[in-house]
A = this chain, B = another copy of it.
Amino acid sequence: MLEHLHTPCLLLDETVLRANIKGMADRFKQIGVPLRPHFKTAKSIEVARILQDHGAKSWTVSTLKEAEYLSSAHFKDILYAVSIVPQKMEQVMALSRNGAQMAICLDSPEMADQISSMKLDGPAPKVYLEVDVDGHRTGVTTHDQRAIETAIILSRAKNLEFAGLMAHGGGVSYAANGKAELEAAAEQERTTTLSVKAMLQTAGIACPHVSIGSTPTALFGTSYEGVTDVRAGVYMFQDVFQANLGMCALEDIAATVLATVISHAPHLNRIVIDAGGLAISNDRSCATQRNDCGYGFLSDVDGYVDPLLYVEGVSQEHGYITTRDGSSLPFELYPLGSQLRVLPNHSCMTVAAYEGYNLINGNHEGQWWDRCNRW
């Protein structure tokens, strides 16, 4: 049924997607803490509707364009989880005036000063102080007086509502090896953030919300006490990096790239497909993992993973497949013109190359769901 599709193109397995979404939703229903799904991976209103069906009421975004897209479809409670700058406040306020309950974040007294002294036209957005729990991205560190200074400015601001703290433990959790380290990473994310909350409370600053999360810390945390919501995104699609990290099996990867075999090079022990760096992405984040997949593992069109193969390299529009153990390629299994599917290393990067998804399996087989790319 996929022969009619022009390759390379993006496939989304609805059955797998729904199982991934349900698994995480059920987990947090049981824990009793709301999920605030991160929209940065899926960027699809149809996926948002499935999340909503499973109880999601609030959203995280990585671009204001995602916020505009969600808001236009009546998903209104939105946290833009990338440090704000004054130039972006007009976009935030336009959303706010259109009925979105916008939340922003920042991590310095300087930016708190700048934003809190702006004349903002519309309902006051919430603002989070970001905490750096592991040196991964942005945020104030614990026991930093600048955390208190920033929180004081924000809590006194007339044009903003100080919401509390947010953190993303993507540094330590993405480098964790095994269950014990993943649990420890999740606990570090939580307790580090709560230690800043305690510091603010000692300084007399109320901190109503504590938002944390990443797919590994959402799946492996043993306690979410003191946490008011958990953010995660890639779990919906998963990818080889997450599989290597122990988050899922390769069969749980929902988004794959359909490609066509365009050349055989026996002298290089190589099968060449029409999905290269632009179609798969150049992400090599699994390079430091034990089960390095190069630029992706491979399955047949029905989704059966061939454990012998991987994409060893890419040019702009060429992907180079060889065997993981150096054995001779079974060229006869993958004739010229036949189709394969690439399991992406990092699905957030791969799916961003496409304007939408070709649905397979599930209720919407054959349909097209669009995405909201760029800025």
Contacts and interface: CB of A to CB of B under 8 A. Distances in A.
Interface stretch (A154-162, A179-187, A301-309, A347-355): A347-355
Interface in A155-172: 170
A32 interface: no
A283 B281 CA distance: 8
A290 interface: no
Contacts of A88: 6
A352 B373 CA distance: 12
Contacts of A279: 375
B336 A85 contact: yes
Copies of this polypeptide in the complex: 2
B62 A6 contact: no
A74 interface: no
B135 A268 contact: yes
Contacts of A62: 316-317
A277 interface: yes
Interface stretch (A19-27, A195-203, A236-244, A259-267): A259-267
A256 interface: no
Contacts of A260: 85, 87
A262 B84 contact: yes
A337 interface: yes
A332 B84 CA distance: 19
Contacts of A82: 262, 274, 317-318
B282 A315 contact: no
A91 B6 CA distance: 10
Contacts of A352: 278, 353
Which 5 interchain pairs have the tightest Cβ spacing?
A83-B262, A138-B263, A282-B283, A282-B282, A62-B317
23 contacts: A7-B87, A9-B375, A40-B316, A62-B317, A82-B262, A82-B274, A83-B263, A85-B261, A86-B337, A107-B263, A110-B264, A110-B336, A114-B337, A135-B267, A137-B272, A137-B315, A138-B262, A138-B272, A141-B267, A170-B315, A278-B352, A282-B346, A354-B374
Contacts of A137: 272, 315, 318
A318 B170 CA distance: 13
Contacts of A325: none
Given A82-B318, A114-B336, A282-B282, 12 more contacts: A40-B317, A82-B274, A83-B262, A85-B261, A85-B337, A86-B337, A111-B337, A137-B315, A138-B272, A138-B318, A282-B284, A316-B349
B336 A108 contact: yes
A87 B337 contact: yes
A7 to B, nearest CB: 8
Interface string A1-36: 001001111000000000000000000000000000
A229 interface: no
A294 to B, nearest CB: 13
Nearest to A91: B6
| Most central of A170, A263, A318 by chain B CB within 10 Å | A263
Contacts of A108: 263-264, 336
B272 A283 contact: no
B8 A375 contact: yes
A132 interface: yes
A323 interface: no
